Chains A and B, each alone.
Chain A
């Protein structure tokens, strides 16, 4: 079946540190991959996406590359800020997806200290 596995949190970093949040997936075929972010007290927001192998999604300084060989989609940012503190979710859409069904990882909480 389809599944997403993320590194467990919480992850605590100092401001300007480098961030990596690991995400691997299991899926039939080649799904689209996403990172969503949930700030405290808010709903989820799409951060970035990639729809095919070797695609790189990027937004707000965050990047992730769709790696078919390793079935991974790790999230990276070169220099985190306090405002990046949130929960990050890796997700995929099944290839047969007709619409709004996403398979989410468990989420990784990021806390950035000044």
Chain B
């Protein structure tokens, strides 16, 4: 059974940093690109970041470029999102997401339960 379990969320002051983790199991983690999607309270879904299966290629939404860093440790089946210079508008539930296919573009077939990041003084 595929499981994605996020951790690391919490309350942080504006300008602060936080590192999210996503522990994956139930599939060959090293074969799949992985993604982060966020959802501000009461709002829609925003695609934040992605990383290729070997970590060699990354993507960032303009809203987080230069402030967030995605990485992965395939030996630990874990995905990370290092967030710095946090702003109030980064407040959201952050979901770790798996693509349906191990190659090429595809929909997201598994989502974690999400971890809440609140940026406030």
User: Are A and B bound to each other?
Assistant: no
> Footprint of A on B, CB under 8 Å?
none
